[in-house]
A and B are shown apart, each in its own frame.
Chain A
Amino acid sequence: MTHRREHYEQLILDYFRAVDEERIDDVVACFEQDATIRFAFHAEPVRGHDALRAFFTAHVERFAEHVDRVTRILVDGDLAISELVFDATTTDGRPVHLENCNVYRFRNGRFHDVRVHLDTVTMGRQLGAEPDPAG
């Protein structure tokens, strides 16, 4: 069932607000039970609520502060994208600035699959470590 575009736009905004406010249960609730998120096209996806909860918990613990600013959302049926700017400071004081784009596939009004298009070279350089963000 395709929902109204306003529903999908609000879900995307709610997702990033929950990430920023570190409300992990609310982040996970944006996803279907068997949903996937992938942070580089060649990486294994994070699948299912338990794995998502562990992933996002580790993600927010990596940063002393972090904010996702959605700059644009496009919606077409059950597909959408969001352009966003991610600014953060790691717990060891490194500034991080990334400009990413997410692709969302929806099912039953929630995320069924999310693909994060980001540059792992830039991210790795800024983090000074192996990449693993939640863009």
Chain B
Amino acid sequence: MTILEERPAPAPGRLVDQFERGLDAPICLTWELTYACNLACVHCLSSSGRRDPDELSTAECKALIDEFERMQIFYVNIGGGEPTVRPDFWELLDYAVEHHVGVKFSTNGFRITPERAAKLAATDYVDVQISLDGATAEVNDPIRGAGTYDAALRAMANLQAAGMRDFKMSVVCTRQNIGQLDEFKAIADRYGAQLRLTRLRPSGRGADVWEELHPLPEQQRQLYDWLVANGDKVLTGDSFFHLSAYGEALPGLNLCGAGRVVCLVDPVGDVYACPFAIHDRFKAGNVRSARAELTDFDTVWKTSPLFLELREPQNGGACTKCSAYDSCRGGCMAAKFFTGLPLDGPDPECVKGNAGDPGGLRPQPSQDHSHTGTVRNAPVPLTLLTRAPDRACDENPLTGIGG
């Protein structure tokens, strides 16, 4: 979500009103190229792992880039899965740049060799975002997998040596790493990177680890204070607007852009309201059209009933009587949905403590591409058994699992 961070601070009021009604084309489009991934991060938003056999072909991807160019979508955030595992990834990157569609792509860094880094540094149209979820391997690797800390730092060293400036180092803030914010900043500075902090979402496999990993209330306050003190030096993709209810608004729009200025295209061409909302409930349509090799994202963006509904004035529901509603706007739609909370009520991490108890009624995921077999580098979470035993006297640790 770089673009929302790289524009100047908005003048109060009016631009936000425009954004709420939606734009002619998104300004923050995430395109997940593949569900395939060489890792198995415990909090993966898209439950990635295995390639989907129905993923867009190279020709279809190019047709979609052509359409982005026609719509003047100036740049896209490419992710996955791990986008670099697609054999045509570098070809598509070159094609996008040739067609005036800038790219920022997210990667775990395993494939950012010195040679690739040199190529990336040679074009202004490409930006790279390296994922790192711990300032030490001890914190990072249980989330992202064995060896992923070293791989990320090696990739950053390669980018720096190639002369790449201001690439992004992206951190998902968790219960385990909130205490490392200064260390993350120091690592980013050391490699000439920009630090980007984002919110853990209960989306995809994130739902499975949400209760263990989402920041505790006092950590949320710690994060907010850190962002207020350092906000002009870090990027956040506006992902912490729910924390604005503490008082001073954080830099950024403080608005849910889903379906208004933000959307996601997934590897099979499905269009969702935002990158954190991969679920049938938030699916607006598909970019594939009746004519082979010609995509029709434009029609989905402009006319899908879901997006038109999201661009209507939203009912704050139970939140409207809260004094902080104008600051936090009820928080994140996806976070509410995936924790089983009503969409017109408080965010599960409501800083006023108004979030209701979902009562365990979490929605079932509508897709899962997680690896089913053994994964090299598989993360070993710090907490191995996340559910209570069925009965207090169960002796077999496997009781109730897999049966």
Chain A complexes with chain B: no
> Which of A's residues lie within 8 Å of B, judged by CB?
none
> Which of B's residues lie within 8 Å of A, judged by CB?
none
